[in-house]
Structure 1
């Protein structure tokens, strides 16, 4: 299995959008509600376009024999972000202070089933991080996914829990995690 990786930014979204939609549809096919919702109430394409409109958006895509097998995308947190305002307990200013260049958000990582457990997700993650100029990266994890397996994978990649996070009008409590973009 030889997976090749490529990067794209918002300017190139029209060229790669079909690949992202194809992977997303297959990954979430068995759970139609999450395919349409995935926590936000918006279809994936709308959420993808909203994410791609944010500063610093990039996507890493893995291909095998020209077929997309997975992706990882995210953006930079703006200086005036409200990202940290939905934590259940307040965090200290040194955690929540943003400059527009301090923190990247990993929005989503998805890998088709035949490539799961092969290291493709970790490779996508590292390829995506390799172009990030920020000092740290954050993400939200639903700890219930895979009975904690998703959070354990993030911890294995160096992420550490900083707070519990709940979006307005949602019942799911996510774990907010952070790690340095580059390990020392």
Structure 2
């Protein structure tokens, strides 16, 4: 799709672009299967602005005709992360060990509803992961959004299990955690 421009951005640029990012995020998560509330959107703003400041944060944006139509962002899981806490699938200790360079957490992937089903989400995620140096990636999904989970599964992600949200302002009490091994060329 030559009419969509995909660009890698840092945290400072993400802060500058926040009004546009928020507009796309809100449009993408305002209807089923997500249907977040106004409180969820307020919490997103505070959470995202903290996440933009994480070491090695990256934001991939998609623009069409000068306007933002999609975004994907994340950062490496730090040492001592709580990301794996409460996961209902047991694994050995080495699986959960993070050193700040091993696993990239994909925090958000959203495409404005007017631009969905055109391959933009997949392009964003692929470009984001291609920009990373980590050896694996993880993301959390809404357990009720089975169509979203099936999309990730078609793209090669595997579900590891379910875990409690881990923070009081989460839009739902549980998330399903997915993992993707990244090519060793990263």
TM-score, scaled relative to structure 2: 0.86
**Larger RCO (CA under 8 A, 6+ residues apart):** 2
Residues 123, 183 of structure 1: alpha-carbon distance in 2 compared, 3 angstrom cutoff: farther
Give the superposition deviation at 1:37. Answer: 4.5
Note the 1:64-143 alignment, pairs <5 A: 64-143=64-143
What SS does the corresponding residue of 2:17 show, helix, strand or coil? Answer: helix
Gaps of 5+ in 1: none
**Helix, strand or coil at the partner of 1:84:** coil
> What RMSD, in angstroms, separates the aligned Cα atoms of the two structures?
2.3
Matched, 1:158 2:156: yes
- Shift of the 12–53 alpha-carbon distance from structure 1 to 2, 3 Å rule, reads same
Equivalent in the alignment of 2:38: 36
Deviations 1:158-181 (A, max 9, x none): 111112111245763321111023
1:23 deviates by: 0.7
Per the TM alignment, residue 97 of structure 1 is displaced from its structure 2 partner at its CA by: 1.0
Q: Secondary structure at the match of 2:81?
A: coil
Structure 1 residue aligned with 2:12: 11
How far apart are the structure 2 equivalents of 1:35 and 1:60? 25
3-state SS of 1:163 partner = strand
Distance 1:33 1:153 in 2: 18
SS at match of 1:23: helix
Task: State the Cα distance separating 1:15 from its structure 2 match.
Answer: 2.8
Asked if structure 2 preserves the Cα contact closer than 8 Å seen for 1:35 and 1:44, the reply is no
Structure 2: gaps (5+ residues): none
Structure having the larger proportion of residues in helix: 1
Closer/same/farther in 2, CA of residues 98 and 113 from structure 1, 3 Å limit: same
Could you tell me how far apart the structure 2 residues matched to 1:123 and 1:36 are? 29
Is residue 178 from structure 1 mapped to residue 179 from structure 2 by the alignment? yes
CA contact (8 A) 2:15 2:52 kept: no
Aligned residues of 2:8 and 2:59 also touching (Cα < 8 A): yes
How many angstroms apart in 2 are the aligned matches of 1:119 and 1:67?
Answer: 17
Tell me the matched-pair count: 180
Which 10-residue stretch deviates more, 167-176 or 49-58? 167-176
